[in-house]
Amino acid sequence: MDESSYDYNPVSDFSSILVPEDGYAYVDGLDEFISTDRGDTEVVYFLNHVFPQALHEGASDIHFIHHVKGFRVRFRINGVLEDRYFLNSEAARDLDLKIRSRCMLATSEREAPLDGSFFMLIDGRRVDVRVSILPNSLGQSIVCRLLDQNNAGRTLDSIWMPDAVREVLLQTLALEEGLILNVGPTGSGKTSTLYACLNHLNRPGIHICTVEDPVEYSLPGANQVTVRAPERTFAKVLRSFLRQDFDVGLVGEIRDAETANIALAAANTGHLMLSTLHTRSTLATVSRLADLGVKHYELADTIRLIVAQRLLKRLCPHCSMPYEMDDLERDALAAEEGGHLVDTYGQYWVANPDGCDACEGGYIGRVPVMEMLAGTRELKAAIESTDRATMVKRAYEQHQYQPLIVAGTVMSANRLVDFHAALKINM
């Protein structure tokens, strides 16, 4: 489909396809999905409204989930799913067909999960849409991930982090070889942080290669590859990178022993490697890699930095309220690893549930909370010894290191995140 941009113009009402529900509104938009017969006009209008609306509201995903009356439409904003619309059954069927057609997916396949993608131009911004379709007991669940390519140019300066953390990160990115890992659950901002690192490194004379599932953001001048099993796996592409004379490599995720070992081998032979892993903390990363078959001495030789990350809603600086923790919260903190480092009698901040004119229910966007562990000589020796107690001791000796719960409560004391959210950061 030819690229075209969006302008906001009045369009005909599509209220007849909505199941009446108090509190739900619809917005204006313009044509990008194409009507193919008179019966689908309102659904096309709806689709061309809902994607710009989701982007403007800061949604990361749009969920179209079948329920007994049709489709429930929800936006994920700041990590939380919010209801937006209910579509009737006929509209749900037409919407399903339109999205499948746009992704060039089989309209007759109703039993197997399907993945596809397409792009839109919204207000002059290219937005890639990654689509997952999963059959459920009532019909189909369609989830659309919105990847605003404006975020591809994000810089490290645009990401909030403590000065000590930023200093260690920049020092590590200046190295010519080694492994940098960003760890955490899905949706914790790992990819955004790593792309900010790549933008920092991306300059003339540096050859950057990335292998991802799929490539999420376009990086000018980089060699970017999307995996496609079985012929194009992470491990196979990584092996090819070693013959591509690259300087910096990004592996979207280390999922298996083969990928882990090739990434470590590359990091140990003159390449700076960046990747992600699904672990809860920096120290847990060591045992997770051991579970994948990585020898402790190999990791000790190669590791330069591990960053554990979460995303929390950012407090509104205008209406957030002071808070002092109670005895139960002090006891809960004491039971957490590193909780003894928190000033349990300090002043913290919480969101104002009523919000104000400057915010949405007490929050403005999201901010990362980071736990950073540098691959110092002392830490490397502790990793090689496999003694966790020594690793913990060496971690606390690093000036930038704070367990996530400590980092979160410190940010609450600085009026950045809600205190109660910081307490739950490990859950």
Strand, helix or coil for residue 253: coil
Burial class (CB in 10 A: 0-12, 13-18, 19+), 188: buried
Q: What pLDDT sits at residue 68?
A: 79
Position 44 scores a pLDDT of: 86
Distance CA 279, CA 3 (A): 40
User: What superfamily does domain 154-423 belong to in CATH?
Assistant: P-loop containing nucleotide triphosphate hydrolases (3.40.50.300)
| Tokens coding 397 | 């000796």
Phi, psi dihedrals of residue 25, rounded to the nearest 5°: -130, 165
Residue 176 carries which DSSP code?
A: S
Distance CA 141, CA 63 (A): 7
Q: Which residues of the chain have pLDDT under 70?
A: 1-40, 337, 345
Largest CA distance in the chain: 71
Which sequence spans correspond to the domains of the chain? 15-147, 154-423
Nearest to 329 by CA among 308, 357, 350, 309: 350
Enumerate the H helices of 252-295 as residue ranges. 257-267, 282-291
Please give the pLDDT value at position 16: 53
Please say whether the beta carbons of 408 and 422 come within 8 A.
yes
According to the model, what pLDDT value does residue 390 have? 96
Sign of the C-alpha dihedral computed for residues 79, 85, 89 and 91 taken in this order: negative
Spatial CB neighbours of 399, under 8 Å, sequence gap ≥ 6: 164
Q: Among all chains, which residue has been given the structure tokens 């403005």? A: 364
Long-range CB contacts for residues 217-220, cutoff 8 Å, separation at least 24: 217/147, 217/149, 217/151, 217/152, 217/191, 218/149, 218/152, 219/152, 219/195
What is the per-residue pLDDT across 233-246, written as a single tens digit (0 to 9) for each? 999 999 999 999 99
The pLDDT value given to residue 149: 87
> Which residues does 120 contact at the CB level (< 8 Å), separation at least 6?
6, 32, 51, 126, 127, 129
**Domain 15-147 carries which CATH code?**
3.30.450.90
pLDDT at residue 342, rounded to an integer: 76
DSSP lists the bridge partners of residue 368 as 311
How far is the C-alpha of 427 from the C-alpha of 423, rounded, in Å? Answer: 9
pLDDT score recorded for residue 36: 62
- Return the pLDDT at 22: 38
The contacts of residue 109 (CB under 8 Å, 6+ apart) are none
Place of tokens 């920096």: 282
Buried b (16+ CB within 10 A) or exposed e, 348-383: bbbbbeebeeebeebbbebbbbbbbbbbeebbbebb
> How many CB atoms sit inside 10 A of residue 94's CB?
21
pLDDT tens across 368-379, in order?
999 999 999 999
Angle between helices 388-396 and 377-385 (to 10 degrees): 170
